Structure 1
Amino acid sequence: MYYLLLAMLLTLTGCASKQPSFSLVIDPLLPSVINYSGEIDPDNVAAFEQGIANSPTQITSLVINSGGGDVLAGIRLGELVYQHKLKVTVDKVCASSCANYVVTASDEVTIKQDALLGWHGGVLQPLLYGSEDFHKYKKSMVEYIMAWAEAERVFFDMVKVNQAVTVLGMMPGLKGKRNTPLYSYDQQTLKALGLHITFEDKQATVSKTGEEIVQIFSLSPEVLDTLLLQHAQRLQQL
Structure 2
Amino acid sequence: MRYLLVTLLLTLSGCAVQPQPFSVVIDPLSPSSIRYSGEINPENVTLFEKLIANAPTRIDSLIINSGGGDVFAGIRFGGLVYQYKLKVVVDKVCASSCANYVVTASDDVIVKSGGLLGWHGGALQPFYQSLMLSEKQRSEVKLSAQQAEYITHWRKAEEDFFKLIKVNQTVTVLGMMPELVDKRDAPLFSYDQQTLKQLGLNITFEGEQATTSSSGDYMVQIFNLSPDVLDMLLIQHDKRLLNN
TM-score (norm. length: structure 1): 0.92
The secondary structure found in structure 2 opposite 1:68 is coil
Contact 2:40 2:68 in 1 (8 A): yes
Report the counterpart of residue 97 of structure 2 in structure 1: 97
* CA deviation string 1:172-208 (max 9, x = no partner): 2210010100000011000000001000111000111
Distance 2:184 2:113 in 1: 24
Distance 1:212 1:29 in 2: 33
Q: Which moved more, 1:220-229 or 1:9-18?
A: 9-18
* CA deviation string 1:23-66 (max 9, x = no partner): 00102431110010000001001111111111111111000000
**Percent identity of paired positions between Structure 1 and Structure 2:** 64
Distance 2:33 2:182 in 1: 41
Distance 2:8 2:203 in 1: 29
Q: CA deviation at 1:145?
A: 1.4
Contact 2:8 2:141 in 1 (8 A): no
Q: Match of 2:42, as an amino acid?
A: P
Q: CA deviation at 1:13?
A: 5.3
Unpaired segments of 5 or more residues in structure 2?
132-137
The secondary structure found in structure 2 opposite 1:152 is helix
Q: Match of 1:54, as an amino acid?
A: N
Report the counterpart of residue 170 of structure 1 in structure 2: 176
Contact 1:13 1:68 in 2 (8 A): no
Report the counterpart of residue 55 of structure 2 in structure 1: 55
The secondary structure found in structure 2 opposite 1:136 is coil
Distance 1:80 1:225 in 2: 31
The secondary structure found in structure 1 opposite 2:40 is coil
1:193 aligns with 2:199: yes
Distance 1:152 1:161 in 2: 11
Q: Match of 1:152, as an amino acid?
A: E
* CA deviation string 1:67-119 (max 9, x = no partner): 00000000000000001000000000000000000110001000000000000
Cα–Cα, structure 1 residues 152 and 26, in superposed 2: closer, same or farther, change >3 Å?
Answer: same
Cα–Cα, structure 1 residues 226 and 17, in superposed 2: closer, same or farther, change >3 Å?
Answer: closer
Q: 1:184 aligns with which of 166, 181, 190?
A: 190
Cα–Cα, structure 1 residues 186 and 111, in superposed 2: closer, same or farther, change >3 Å?
Answer: same
1:108 aligns with 2:104: no
Q: CA deviation at 1:142?
A: 2.1
Q: Match of 2:151, as an amino acid?
A: I
Contact 2:11 2:125 in 1 (8 A): no
Q: 2:161 aligns with which of 152, 155, 179?
A: 155
Q: 1:205 aligns with which of 204, 208, 211?
A: 211
Q: 2:151 aligns with which of 145, 150, 156?
A: 145
